[in-house]
Every structure is written in C-alpha cells, then in structure tokens.
Structure 1
Amino acid sequence: MVSNKVRTLLTVLGIAIGISSVIIVYSAGEGILGLLVNQLQSFGTNIIETEVKVPTAKKGTSGETDSAMAIASGVQVTSLTLKDLEDVKKLSNISGGYGAVLSQEKVSYGNESRKTFIFGTNADYAQIDKMEIAQGTFFSDEDDQGLSQVVVLGSKMKDKLFGDSEAIGKYITLRKSKFKVIGVAKSKGAVMGMDFDDYIYVPIRTLQKKIMGIDYLMYMVHEFKDVSVVADTGEEIKYIMRRNHDITDPAKDDFRVSTMEDMMKMLDMVTNVITWLLLAIVVISLIVGGVGILNVMYVIVSERTAEIGLRKAVGANYSSIMTQFLVEAVLITMVGAVLGIIVGVLVSWLISVGATAAGFHWIFSVPLKAFAVSLIFAFACGIFFGVYPAKRAANMDPIEALRKE
C-alpha cells in the first residue's frame, strides 16, 4: 500500500469527497428545514388554514388533488367565500380569521411604475400573521366593508415607489384608480419564496369587487384559542364547509383544512425526500471511489505476489490472506471517511455562518445518523470493492506466486 502512495491518496480523496457530501447534504437538510419552520412559525403557531383543492370524482380514489396540481392543470376552485370565513369565525375556539386573494397588477406613483403582487385580506391579518406597522396603520373592518381604496405598502415596495420620501397620505394608481397609502409595514422577509415586503396590501372586498371582479377566496386562516381541542375545531370547520358547499361525500371535498402541525409534517416529509434524492446522487460518487479501491487493491495484490506466495508457503490459510487484504481495503475507506466527516462538518459550519450573516435563521446541525450513514457507507464500500482483490490474493497458488517473482 505504501508503494502505491499516489493511487491510495487519490482513492482516499475520492471517498472523502463522497462522505463529506453525505455530511453536507444531511446538515443542509436540517438547516433548510429549520429555516422553513422558523419562517412558518413567524406567522404564528396557533393557526389553522383552509385552502381550496380540486375534488376527484373518480371511483377508488381518495378524492383529493392538491392546489399545486390544480394550478398546474389550469383548474380553478371558486367555492371558498367570505361567508365561509365568517361562519368559521363564530366557532367557540376561534379568536379571529382572515381570507386571502392574490393578484398581480401594475402600480404607479409619479414616474415610477411597476408590476407587483396585490394581497387582498381582512383587518385581522396584521394581528394573526404578526405584521408590524412601521408607519401609519393597517386598514380596519370598516375600510373592508366600505370598499375603501386604501393600501398598506410592504417595506420594499415603499422604497421602490417613494424612495426616502414620505408615503403616508400619498396616492398610488391601481387599475386607473387612486388608492391612498395609509400604512407601511416593517420588513418581514421572504417565506418559502414569497417576498411579503414587496407586496401591496388592500382590503379584500375592495380587491375582489373593484379590481379583480370576483367573489371567492384563495385560502383563509383562522387563529384558535386552545391547542388541546384543535383537532375538534378542524372537524367543526370541515362540517361548516361541507354544509355551506352542499357536500355530503367527504371524498368530494373542495377544500383542505391544515394546522401548523400538519404543515410542519409536510415540510419534514418534503425535506426528507429531497435529502434522499441528493444522497442517491452522492452514492454515485462513493461508487466511483469504490472503483478506485478496486483498482488500488488489484495493483497492491499484483505487486505483493511474492509476499502472498511466501506467507502461504509457510502456512497462511485462505481466510488469513483474505482478511489481511479486506482490512487494508476497509482501512483506506475509513481513513477517507474520517477525513470526509471532518471536511463535511467544516463546510457545513461555514455554510451556516454564511447563511446567518446573510440574515437567514440557519441553525448549524449535523444529525447523528449522518455520521452513522457515512461510516456504514465507507465500511460497506471497503468490503464490497475489496473482496475481489482479496479473494484473488487468497486463491493464489504459492508455487506459482513465488515462480512469478
């Protein structure tokens, strides 16, 4: 093995790269999950969301098609209404709620003009989603009921339209109509790709009737009081929705009710799927490293033919020769594994430092299973790719081996 330093070093390096990738993938998965969970929790943990979905009419199916699939297929469910919102708010365990509608419109002020997202919602939104107002105020129920043409700007949108100038009391133009700026929100950041700082917030009825010409919601969120009975509250919401939508068969529900716990489980599942997909790619690099082990061990066996012949001539049996070369193969992979773990942990830490410096809530964490998987992979790789050269060495005829030398 010493005489093949370059080959051995390259093989160790290949294994180290594969193992460090395993550590980084697991750590990044933990970091991303923590980031997304923190972003979701910034909206409150005591919320229950009702969103639209496309019911499935086919027999033998669960009756469920999620919203993403509905959007992709061009199907639009328009059955969720403000009546649903208000009826759910009457439940004893519900303290408030808001509906949501999203539109993309051209907005202008003076010489500044741009296309942006208009978020229609109710007065309860600011309290439930923990929106803080930097200047002015959020709109009221009276503004919503009266179809007032008022807006609250996200912090980035305020800067884009007004720069350093005062925005409160000024009028912006939406669909050729004037809307008065009554508030500017504090920066909240992006959540799962949606930058709420770049939004314009409008009373939901104003957006529905004066801009979009619709009467439905995209989703609604309610805040509950007692988490111990949230499951019962969810069932009560389903009962109200089915009653309002004339649904008798749960398989034909055109809505989905989810708690924050449900959303966390979904995030965890998605993160695990992504992690395993990335690990599948990493395995390829480990296989490449394994091929390197096969090559190095094959050369080592060839160069040590005389030694093998001599050992067998003095009584070394099949298993001892086999064990010797398997141990050497495993030793190479384990050295690569240790080096890879050190590099992987260091790179993962640097990623967390960089993400934190960039303003993300990124927790540095490497789960124990990452170390276990790394060591098991390395050990298995050494055994699997080392077994053929070891068998070749163990099967050598001592006379033929000594004669070749």
Structure 2
Amino acid sequence: MLCAMNKIFSSTILAFKALLLQKSRSILTILAISIGISAVIVVFAAGRGLDGLIKGQLDTFGTGIIELETKVPNVGKTSSENGQGQALGIVITTFKNKDLEAIKKHQNITHIYGAVMGQEVVTYQDVEKKVFLQGVSYEAPEVDSTQIDQGRFFTKDEEESLQQVVVLGYSVWQKFFGDEDPVGKSISIKGNKYKVVGVAAERGSAFFMNLDDNLYLPLKTMQKRVLGIDYISFAVAKMKDSSLSKQTQEDLTFIMREEHNITDPNKDDFAVNTMDEAQSMLGNIVGTVTILLVTLVCISLVVGGIGIMNIMYVSVAERTFEIGLRKAVGAKRKDILWQFLTEAVIVTLSGGVTGIVLGAILAYLIMLVAVAYGFAWTYSISLMSIVVAVGFSVVIGLIFGIYPAKKAANLDPIVALRKD
C-alpha cells in the first residue's frame, strides 16, 4: 500500500514538472476546459435562479389561486397556448359576468374576479400618457392580495352602478401625480372624467410585466363605458382549501360547461388552470432548457477533450527520448502510463476547479443584474453542479488521456532512444 502511494506521489510530481516545462500549452488547455466547466456552473445556477424566480412570480398572485380563461375550441389547450385567440384573429365572447356568479356558488371558492384589459390615453392636467387599463371585479384585492397604499379600492355598489372611479397602479400614480395625493382628483379617459379613489401599493414585476403600470377600473364600468363589450377575458378565483384544487378544477369545468351548454369536451371555449399546473409547466420548460444547454456545454467539453488528446499526442512525440530513457533505466510500462494519465487529469481537474470559481463569479454577476432589474433572483450554486463539474473534468482527462498514455507506455525504449 505504501509502495503504491509512493508511486502515485512520484508520478504526480513528475507530471507537474512536465506540465511546468510546457506552461503556455498547459495554461491554454486549462483555460479551454475552465470555460466549458464555468458554463456548466452558470447553466445550473441560472436554472435554479429561474426556478426560484418562477415560484416567486407565481406567489405574487397569491396562494390557492385557480384561473379561468377563454380558448378557441379544437385549436389548443388554453388561450395562451393557441395565441390568446386574438393572435388567430378570433375573440371569444362567450365568457360572461353571469359565469362568475355561478362559479362563486362553489363551496371551495371564497372570492372571484373577472377581468378585461385595454390601452387608452389618460390625461391629468398637462400630462398625457398611454396607460394599460384593467377592468376587474371589486373582489380583486381579496384574490390576488393587492394592497392599497392610499385611499381604497372600489366597492360592489360602484361596480354595479357603473361609477367612473379608478385605482391607480403605483407607477401610474408617480407618472401623473409625482408625490401629490391623487385621491379625490379626476383623470380623463376617452374624454370622460374618472375619480381617483385609491392607489395600489407597489407590487413590482411578474413574468416581465410591471404590475404597477396598470390602472384599475370596475369591471362593468370598463366593459360598458370604455370598451363597449359584455364579456370578460379571464377570471381568477380564490380557493378556501388549496389541497382540493384538482377536484375544484373538475367542478368548475363542469359548471362552465353547464353555463355554456357544452356537452362535448372538445368544444370547450374555456380552460380552468391551477397555479400548480402553471408552476409545473414553467418548471418543465426551465428543466428542458437547462438540459439542452448542459448538453451543448458537454459537447463543447468533449471537443475540448479531443484537443487535450491531440496535445498529449504531440507531447508524447516530443518526449520520445525521455520516455525511452526512463524505460531504459527501469521504468515500467504502467509507470509511463500513469504519468501521462496523471498529466491529463491534472490539466482537466485544474480547468475544472478554475471553471467552478469562474462560473460562481459569473452566476453572481447574473444575479446582480437580475436584481438590478427588479427580479427576485436567488444566487445558488448546488453541490450537484460542483460534483458534475469536477467529475466531468476527471472523466475527460481519463478518456482523452488514455490513448496518448498508452502510446507512450508501449514505446520500445531502443527505438525511442534512436529516434532522438
């Protein structure tokens, strides 16, 4: 055992000395491997960061949420997957306010709000800007946990009587009023005056949309006075018990079919989705992209490994006399084999360690950029990514170093000494 350890130690020392004699070549090889390994670390870290970001973004919509949206029958699963209908030149108008009342009767639904959206020019004094308008039911804050910073949200009576009142998103308030208290003042939408009754608290971004850039109107006011429609685009409901989400989803699907007189599921003009499904779908997308990127990185590492093999072949050719001399003075075949394998592993392992450090730094910089843009990005370097990086480095060294090492070990010492 001690003898074996001594041989390993002496081979390692010889390998280090040989690599130091070829500094430029060794450094370039280490750099090539480190770039690939750092990419592995960054991809894994970005995958974890995206996963955390998605969960955080979904949390901004609250817990125990179930969503209903329109879809084009026989085209796709949901309106978002088949282009929201509008992208196909189709607008689904069958989702009505009465559907909300039917859904609200379900024992596991505590609150629900319908919504329609639009974009209009809004004016206050000499400030005029195009703003995203969202018509929502009065129960919206109970569903998506919207907090009110100033004033209040509009009431059921205001919605039912089509009152011209609005709640400003945090950014909208700042754009039009600065630090001025807007409550009680009026803004103009399509030439009509709307009284500001409140300002929503700052919410930030979700899925690349700034939630503070919206201006909220009562649903029916938006439908009748702004858009001139009688349908809704989607609805969001709050469940009493989120553990019953699957059963609730099935029940709401049944209710909607009853309301829309649908007997054939293929003719559904709506879809009922849970947050768990959304999270699972987005998680699968992130996972697939991560696997694809890791695969591409691994291919680049294999290319780097081929480069190592070529460099090792050149090294064997240049050191033929040295190999012959070592064999002539008693070095065995396995000693030569071990030395060249050790050189290959040291180079790739050094590249792996360097790549881990470089990847960790790059992942941290990505986190800083994401945070600077308002995303709740988590910096996390998993143990698995480090193990994969180190393991892959060693494997590359062994696989692509074995052939040159064998060539060196099989050299005839007499032929090798004559060659130089």
TM-score by length of 2: 0.87
Q: Please list the CA deviations of residues 357-405 of structure 1 after superposition, one character each: whole Å capped at 9, or x if unmatched.
A: 6654332222232123212322332234324423432443433322111
Decide which moves more: 182-191 or 336-345: 336-345
Cα distance, 1:30 vs structure 2? 1.2
Correspondence list, 1:328-343, <5 A: 328-343=343-358
1:17 lines up with 2:30 in the alignment: no
User: Matches of residues 206-355 of structure 1 in structure 2 within 5 Å?
Assistant: 206-312=221-327, 321-352=336-367, 355=370
Partner of 1:60: none
| Secondary structure, aligned partner of 2:122 | strand
For residue 42 of structure 1, what is the aligned residue in structure 2? Answer: 60
> More displaced, 196-205 or 221-230?
221-230
Q: 2:69·2:79 contact (CA, 8 Å) conserved in 1?
A: no
Q: Which residue in 2 is equivalent to 1:3?
A: 21
CA distance in 1, matches of 2:246, 2:124: 47
Matched AA of 2:59: Q
Is the 2:135–2:219 Cα contact (8 Å) retained in structure 1? Answer: yes
Whole-angstrom distance in 1 between the partners of 2:219 and 2:36: 52
The Cα shift of 1:330 comes to 2.0
Q: 1:135 to 1:77 in 2, by over 3 A?
A: same
CA contact (8 A) 1:14 1:288 kept: no
- Structure 1 residues 77, 330: closer, same or farther in 2, change over 3 A? farther
The superposition leaves residues 249-308 of structure 1 with CA deviations (integer Å, 9 ceiling, x where unpaired) of: 223322222222222212211221222233244335424532442343122212221233
In 2, Cα distance between equivalents of 1:363 and 1:188: 18
The number of aligned residues is: 400
1:67 equivalent among 80, 102, 106: 80
CA–CA distance in structure 2, aligned partners of residues 253 and 373 of structure 1: 46
The one-letter amino acid paired with 1:22 is V
Q: Which moved more, 1:8-17 or 1:337-346?
A: 337-346
State the alpha-carbon separation in 1 of the partners of residues 334 and 229 from structure 2. Answer: 79
Structure 1's unaligned 5+ residue stretches are 58-62
CA distance in 2, matches of 1:279, 1:49: 34
Identical pairs, percent: 47
Using the alignment, how far apart are the partners of 2:119 and 2:241 within structure 1? 36
Offset at residue 226 of structure 1 (A): 1.5
Counterpart check, 1:128 vs 2:146: no
How big is each residue's C-alpha offset from its partner over 1:60-79, in whole Å with a ceiling of 9 and x where there is no partner?
Answer: xxx63552432343433332
CA-atom RMSD in angstroms: 2.4
What's the secondary structure of 1:69's corresponding residue? Answer: coil
Q: CA deviation at 1:189?
A: 0.6
CA contact (8 A) 2:205 2:375 kept: no
CA distance in 2, matches of 1:318, 1:64: 65
Q: What is the CA distance between 1:348 and its match in structure 2?
A: 2.7
* Residue number in structure 2 paired with 1:55: 73
Counterpart residue identity of residue 378, structure 1: S
Asked whether the equivalents of residues 55 and 65 of structure 1 are also in contact (C-alpha less than 8 Å), the reply is no
Residue 90 of structure 1 corresponds to 105
AA partner of residue 294 (structure 2): L
Tell me the residue number matched to 2:156.
Answer: 141
CA distance in 1, matches of 2:158, 2:174: 25
Residue identity in the other structure for 1:69: N
Which consecutive residues of structure 2, in runs of 5 or more, have no partner in the other structure?
A: 1-18
Give how far 1:53 is off: 2.2
| 1:135 alignment partner, SS class | strand
d(CA) in 2 for partners of 1:386, 1:77: 63
Q: Which residue of structure 1 lines up, in the alignment, with residue 7 of structure 2?
A: none
- 229-238 or 69-78, larger mean C-alpha shift: 69-78
